[in-house]
Amino acid sequence: MRIIAAARDLIAEAGPGVPMARVARRAGVGVATLYRRFPTRDDLVAETYADQHAECAASWRQVVRDSDPARALRDTILRLCATQVVDRGYTAAILGGRGLEDERMEYDRALTVLLDQAKAAGSLRPGIGVGDLRLLLAGNAGVIAAAWPAAATASRRFVEHMLRSFEAPRETSRQGTPTQC
């Protein structure tokens, strides 16, 4: 559908705050037509990302059953952050946009499961929570914006820093007994 394709391109370029009038212009439809189909920008954003979210949700269900929770968490974060490089819109929408509340709760639930599993396996520093993953994603958005056109390389290095900081201290992970530090 033309409107969704236009919204997808524009949100990827400019983030989920892109003006409705720009979406209408890009899609070659009148603003009234756009608003008739999507009464608010939130409706448009939610519809734009419906397919992508369904795919992600399927991969969440897979990933929380991974036998290696540290790897599952790491792979999930790397995949999310790589998505941010090519599509500003989706993670921005998931991070803070309205219209995707259910999806955001689903993300938070899946991430919480991943974090709990990684903590139980002793691979994660105590005290790390979903809020820290949000800091990572928000920081990654800043790195991508500043480092363009070298965003992919800069983002990867940045994410490795954050992942290292989330790791359990060496002594702890060796002994398998997490302690506060």
Using CB under 8 A as the criterion, which residues of the chain lie in contact with a copy of itself when the complex forms?
95-96, 131-132, 134-136, 138-147, 154, 157-158, 161-162, 164-166, 169-171
Give bridge partners of residue 124 from the DSSP assignment: 167
Q: Which is nearer to a copy of itself, 114 or 159 (CB)?
A: 159
User: What is the nearest approach in angstroms of a copy of itself to the Cβ of residue 71?
Assistant: 19
Q: Which is nearer to a copy of itself, 169 or 176 (CB)?
A: 169
Q: Which is nearer to a copy of itself, 48 or 140 (CB)?
A: 140
User: What is the nearest approach in angstroms of a copy of itself to the Cβ of residue 165?
Assistant: 4
User: What is the nearest approach in angstroms of a copy of itself to the Cβ of residue 139?
Assistant: 3
Please tell me the distance from the alpha carbon of residue 36 to that of residue 60, in angstroms, as a whole number.
Answer: 34
Closest to 10 measured CA to CA, from 1, 20, 146: 20
C-alpha atoms less than 13 angstroms from C-alpha of 128 in its C-beta half-sphere: 29
Please tell me the distance from the alpha carbon of residue 89 to that of residue 153, in angstroms, as a whole number.
Answer: 19
User: What is the nearest approach in angstroms of a copy of itself to the Cβ of residue 49?
Assistant: 18
Give bridge partners of residue 17 from the DSSP assignment: none
Q: Which is nearer to a copy of itself, 62 or 179 (CB)?
A: 179
Torsion (CA) 73, 79, 82, 84 in degrees, nearest 10: -90
